[in-house]
Structure 1
Amino acid sequence: MVKQPEESSGFLLWHVTLRWQRAVTTTLKPLGLTHVQFVLLASTWWLNQHDEQPSQAAVSAFAGIDVKMASQVIRTLESKGLITRQIDSADSRARRLLVTKAGAALAPKAVEAVEAVDAALFEPLSGAEAKAFTKSLRRLRAQQTEEQS
């Protein structure tokens, strides 16, 4: 058991995450996106850029967002003219997502803005520390993915 909150990785992660979320929210506001909208738009854009037309479920899994929440937010992105949902020719229950011209123009701007937030947050870490931290996060994410399987 830790003696001080500052010795708790979870407590520290909580505080850093809150700071990061506030900065991302502030950065995305002028672009007209919430954080979740950004994640789903950027994920769909990235997958489309790599010749994929993902289903809503695939984008949800890729982004790590609950399927029901993703569905609601994707509808919002569709109403904003940033994404289209097309019926899958192989499965009429599934919807394939495509970023519109407006979405394709906005997504890279939003990604660049969020990457700037990330760079500012991690700037105090040396290059080696930042790489080690990212590697550790990948390991933790992989463990979470394995546990969910």
Structure 2
Amino acid sequence: MPLSPDDSPGLLLWHATLRWQRDIAATLAPLGLTHVQFVLLACAWWLNSQGERPNQLTLARQAGTDVKMTSQVLRTLEQKGLVTREADPADARAKRLRVTEAGADLAPRAIAAVELADARFFQPVPVDQVVPLLRRLAHPAPDPPADPH
């Protein structure tokens, strides 16, 4: 157990995450997007730019979001005219996603704004150190199989 809260990696990560979330929310507010709306719009835009018409499950996996929440947020993005959800001819239960012209205009501007906010936030740590660390934290290596003997 750490001797002081200032030595607790979990508490420090919590505080850093809260500060980063506030920065991102302030960056996205003038664009009319919440953070989760931004993530889903940016992921859909990127997938569309790769020639994909993802369904909601594919988008949720790409974004790392809950499927039900993804559906609710996509409904809001659709109401804002940023995405369309169209029935999948191969699966009547699935909706295929397409970023609209307005969404395709907004997504790269929002991405650029968020990237700038990220650069300011992470500026104290060299990018060649922060990115590998965050990759390890976001996608930890699986535990090795237990030794059967």
TM-score above 0.5: yes
The residue that corresponds to 1:135 in the other structure is: 132
Aligned-pair CA distance for 1:115:
0.4
Secondary structure at the aligned position of 1:124 is classed as coil
Give 1 or 2 for the bigger CA radius of gyration: 2
Aligned AA (2:45):
W
Q: Deviations over 1:71-130 (max 9, x none)?
A: 00000000000000011111111001000000000000000000011000011123xxx3
Q: Quote how far apart the aligned CAs of 1:142 are.
A: 1.6
Give the equivalent residue in structure 2 for 1:58.
58
Q: Structure 1 residue 4: deviation in Å?
A: 0.8
Superposed counterparts of 1:19-58, under 5 Å? 19-58=19-58
Q: Which residue of 1 aligns with 2:110?
A: 110
Q: Which amino acid aligns with 1:92?
A: A
Post-superposition shift, 1:132?
Answer: 2.1
Give, in whole Å, the separation in 2 of the partners of 1:17 and 1:112. 20
- Two-structure CA RMSD over aligned residues (Å): 1.4
Separation in 2, partners of 1:111, 1:36: 13
Dislocated runs of 4+, deviation >6 Å: none
Q: In structure 2, what is the Cα distance between the partners aligned to 1:5 and 1:134? A: 25
Structure 1 unaligned regions, length at least 5: none
1:99 is matched with: 99
Cα distance in 2 between the residues matched to 1:142 and 1:123: 23
| Number of residue pairs matched by the alignment | 143
CA distance in structure 2 between the partners assigned to 1:89 and 1:139 by the alignment? 39
1:46-93 Cα offsets, whole Å, 9 max, x none, are: 111111111101101110111111100000000000000011111111
